[in-house]
């Protein structure tokens, strides 16, 4: 809902008061692109409203530059708008100005960058809403980038392309990620951009015009079959991703089918399939180009039906079919959870959302770990980018847990991301049912089963191919302790929990998170499914023998959906 409507609905609400406050605070200031400065926080807040953010976030979007640019004290914001809004505004201010210079950064710059990334990580794990505000802020800054001097344009565009666009992507905000890349593209690759415009403009426009003529046909045949589409839109491929695709296909424009596509949004999943049927009945589908991402979502959660048909005048048309919910998830990513969870009655907080995103937690753990060491800042930045901001693959455990890893990761990386103990005791791996060497490079969608043996230790050789900093770090730690205590096996008193479970996605994660929250160290984790047992079970060794603590933990474990029974004994 646009800000103006929000204010009409609630003239004395948070948003209305924040708007008046920010307007007054920025009065007299102008932007480099001309016009009153207040246009910028207003545009930021409009974007947040279009992502269905809550009022506190929208208000903080309006106020996000008041501390830094108007000298308003944080106490004034707290007094006027309360702790929540003040926390968000303060969080965005603390993220500060990211002086990003990319790979070519000099050493002392690298230190600043690492510090900035560190702040971003903390913001991410504390309250994702701070990051949403920062992304909305960046979106408007990119849209008005032309007004800045060229050197600054390049730096901001690079930072957007290398940090903010991947960050948006990792939050599932694919549309925003693409938009940020598209806005950065002309500043980073001016020659390529000019080439693309010259060589594709006509084809683009012809295709767009063609699809506009097909649109009413699609609507008509659907209505004839009693399907009322909520929306049919023509979607043009972004220049930045078109360019990447062309590079992969030797610049052959003719082979890009989906340069422009039709998108049909309907109410329900059965209607998605009915729509596909009607379309195939009307226009013949191109063979092997039907993709059912509803039955088999992409590992990143993307859902839609895709098909390519031979339309009127024998021209190919790519069509995507999805429900409103799928569409919103694709557009807004994790922000869509607000929308749908809120409808269900329980409002989800930014902090809760951050907890749900395991990779945010991984990032936080990883970063805490590194900040305690005297690691070279440039090296840390590089490692962080390799681990979290580069191309990702999504591998799957036999139970269906998705493990998100950088490209070229190996089974050893997979094992350590599931659990340290599984990594340490890994002896081999099966990928899609076949045994593979441990340096095998995983691909998205691979089902990875790790073979373990109790008491096994990592081999020094693993450092040759392990890709992630998490795995490399654990291997080094394990090697160190192996060398320090060559004979001694682990000593601490421990207990074994036996947990009967009903298999479901995410269960291992929930169990280990519950144990960790109760401050019990996990020493080992094994899943077993012996014949004759009603349920498979997980055996977890934890490092404590305090019965009271264990019994308290058991109560918590039993509350996890899918956990059927828990017993324990001391070892
Ligand atoms: Mn700003």
| Three-state secondary structure string covering 46-102 | HHHHHCCCCHHHHHHHHHCCHHHHHCCCHHHHHHHHHHHHHHHHHHHHHHCCCCCCH
Residue 82's pLDDT is: 94
Token pair 């957007």: residue: 160
Cβ(247)–Cβ(185) under 8 Å? no
Q: What is the CA(546)–ligand 1 centre distance, in A? A: 52
Q: Are strands 260-266 and 316-323 parallel, antiparallel or unpaired?
A: parallel
- Phi–psi pair at 308, nearest 5 degrees: -125, 125
Active site residue 424: no
Q: Are strands 426-431 and 448-452 parallel, antiparallel or unpaired?
A: antiparallel
Q: What is the CA(98)–ligand 1 centre distance, in A? A: 12
Cβ(540)–Cβ(522) under 8 Å? yes
Just give the CATH number of 191-334. 3.30.460.10
d(CA 408, CA 560): 34
Q: What is the CA(144)–ligand 1 centre distance, in A? A: 12
Active site residue 413: no
Distance of CA 457 to the CA centre of its chain: 33
d(CA 432, CA 358): 24
Q: What would the 3-class secondary structure string for 342-385 be?
A: HHCCCCCCHHHHHHHCHHHHHHHHHHHHHHCCCCCHHHHHHHHH
d(CA 208, CA 334): 30
pTM for this model (two decimals)? 0.60
Q: What is the CA(26)–ligand 1 centre distance, in A? A: 12
Just give the CATH number of 3-184. 1.10.3210.10
The full set of domain ranges for the chain reads 3-184, 191-334, 391-486, 490-571
d(CA 225, CA 233): 19
Second CATH level (architecture) for the domain 391-486: Roll (3.10)
Cβ(415)–Cβ(405) under 8 Å? no
Q: What is the CA(130)–ligand 1 centre distance, in A? A: 12
d(CA 452, CA 19): 59
Sheet architecture: strand order including 448-452: 434-436, 426-431, 448-452
Both tokens of 8, joined, read 């009409």
Residue 204: CB atoms within 10 A of its CB come to: 18
Q: What is the CA(68)–ligand 1 centre distance, in A? A: 9
Cβ(200)–Cβ(243) under 8 Å? no
Catalytic residue among 5, 68, 461, 528: 68
Q: What is the pLDDT of residues 310-362, one digit of tens each?
A: 888 888 888 999 999 888 877 776 666 555 544 444 445 556 555 555 556 66
Both tokens of 285, joined, read 């589908």
Q: What is the CA(70)–ligand 1 centre distance, in A? A: 12
Residue 104's pLDDT is: 44
Q: What is the CA(65)–ligand 1 centre distance, in A? A: 5
Q: What is the pLDDT of residues 49-86, one digit of tens each?
A: 888 888 999 999 999 999 988 889 999 999 999 999 99
Cβ(160)–Cβ(88) under 8 Å? no
Task: Provide the 3-class DSSP secondary structure of residue 514.
Answer: helix
Residue 165's pLDDT is: 85
Query: CA 345, 349, 354 angle in degrees (round to 5)?
Result: 130
d(CA 308, CA 316): 7
Q: What is the CA(327)–ligand 1 centre distance, in A? A: 28
Residue 108's pLDDT is: 47
Q: Following DSSP, what letter does each residue of 149-209 receive, concatenated? A: -HHHHHHHHHHIIIIIHHHHHHTT-HHHHHHHHHHHHHHH-HHHHHHHHHHHHHHHHHHHH
d(CA 243, CA 263): 22
Residue 231's pLDDT is: 94
Q: What is the CA(67)–ligand 1 centre distance, in A? A: 11
Selecting from 2.40.50.70, 3.30.70.260, 3.40.50.2020, 3.40.50.880, what CATH number does the domain 490-571 have? 3.30.70.260
pLDDT per residue as tens, the chain (571 positions)? 789 998 999 999 999 999 999 999 999 999 887 889 999 999 999 999 888 888 999 999 999 999 988 889 999 999 999 999 999 999 888 776 544 444 444 444 555 655 666 666 666 667 778 888 999 999 999 999 988 888 889 988 988 887 788 778 777 777 888 899 999 999 988 888 888 888 777 777 888 889 999 999 999 999 999 999 999 998 877 777 777 767 766 666 655 555 788 999 999 999 999 999 999 999 988 877 788 888 877 766 778 999 989 888 888 888 999 999 888 877 776 666 555 544 444 445 556 555 555 556 665 665 565 555 544 555 555 555 555 555 667 677 776 666 777 778 999 999 998 888 899 999 999 998 889 999 999 876 678 899 998 888 899 899 999 988 888 888 988 888 766 544 444 455 788 888 888 877 677 778 877 887 777 777 777 777 766 677 778 888 887 778 888 888 898 898 888 888 888 888 7
Residue 96: CB atoms within 10 A of its CB come to: 13
Q: How many residues does the chain have?
A: 571
Q: What is the CA(137)–ligand 1 centre distance, in A? A: 5
Q: What is the CA(205)–ligand 1 centre distance, in A? A: 35
Catalytic residue among 23, 46, 69, 510: 69
């Amino acid at each position: 809902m646009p800000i103006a409507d929000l204010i009409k609905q609630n003239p004395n609400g948070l948003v209305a008061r924040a708007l008046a406050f920010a307007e007054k605070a920025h009065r007299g200031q102008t932007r480099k692109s001309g016009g009153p400065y207040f246009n910028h926080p207003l545009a930021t807040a409009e974007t947040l409203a279009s992502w269905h953010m809550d009022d506190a976030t929208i208000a903080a979007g309006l106020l996000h530059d008041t501390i830094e640019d108007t000298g308003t004290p944080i106490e004034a914001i707290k007094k006027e708008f309360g702790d929540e809004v003040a926390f968000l505004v303060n969080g965005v201010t603390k993220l500060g100005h990211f002086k990003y210079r990319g790979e070519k950064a000099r050493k002392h710059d690298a230190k600043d960058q690492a510090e900035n990334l560190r702040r971003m990580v903390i913001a991410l794990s504390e309250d994702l809403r701070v990051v949403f505000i920062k992304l909305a802020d960046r979106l408007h800054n990119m849209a008005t980038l032309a007004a800045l001097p060229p050197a600054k344009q390049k730096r901001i565009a690079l930072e957007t392309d290398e940090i903010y666009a991947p960050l948006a992507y990792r939050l599932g905000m694919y549309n925003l990620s693409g938009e940020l890349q598209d806005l950065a593209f002309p500043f980073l690759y001016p020659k390529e951009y000019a080439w693309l415009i010259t060589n594709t403009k006509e084809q683009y426009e012809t295709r767009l015009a063609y699809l506009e003529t097909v649109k009413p046909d699609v609507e008509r045949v659907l209505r004839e079959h009693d399907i009322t589409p909520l929306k049919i839109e023509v979607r043009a491929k972004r220049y930045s991703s078109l360019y990447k695709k062309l590079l992969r296909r030797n610049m052959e424009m003719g082979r890009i089918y989906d340069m422009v596509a039709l998108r049909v949004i309907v109410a329900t999943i059965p209607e998605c399939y009915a729509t596909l049927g009607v379309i195939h009945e009307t226009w013949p589908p191109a063979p092997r180009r039907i993709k059912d991402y509803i039955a088999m979502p992409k590992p990143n959660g993307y859902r839609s039906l895709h098909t390519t048909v031979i339309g009127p005048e024998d021209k190919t048309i790519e069509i995507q079919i999805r429900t409103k919910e799928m569409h919103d998830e694709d557009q807004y990513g994790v922000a869509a959870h607000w929308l749908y969870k809120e409808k269900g009655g329980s409002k989800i907080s930014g902090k809760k959302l951050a907890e749900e995103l395991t990779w945010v937690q991984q990032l936080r753990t990883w970063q805490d770990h590194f900040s305690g060491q005297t690691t070279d800042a440039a090296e840390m930045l590089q490692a962080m980018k390799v681990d979290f901001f580069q191309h990702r693959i999504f591998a799957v455990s036999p139970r269906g847990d998705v493990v998100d890893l950088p490209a070229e990761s190996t089974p050893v990386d997979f094992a350590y991301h599931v659990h340290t103990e599984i990594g340490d005791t890994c002896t081999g791996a099966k990928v899609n049912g076949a045994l593979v060497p441990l340096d095998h490079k995983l691909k998205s969608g691979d089902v990875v089963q790790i073979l373990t043996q109790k008491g096994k230790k990592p081999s020094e050789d693993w450092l040759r191919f392990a890709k992630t900093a998490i795995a490399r770090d654990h291997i080094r730690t394990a090697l160190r302790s192996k060398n320090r205590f060559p004979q001694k096996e682990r000593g601490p008193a421990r207990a074994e929990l036996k947990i009967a479970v009903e298999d479901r996605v995410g269960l291992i994660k929930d169990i280990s998170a519950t144990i960790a929250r109760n401050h019990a160290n996990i020493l080992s984790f094994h899943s077993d499914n012996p014949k004759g047992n009603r349920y498979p079970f997980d055996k977890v060794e934890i490092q404590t023998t305090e019965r009271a603590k264990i019994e308290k933990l058991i109560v918590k474990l039993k509350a996890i959906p899918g956990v059927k029974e828990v017993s324990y004994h001391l070892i």
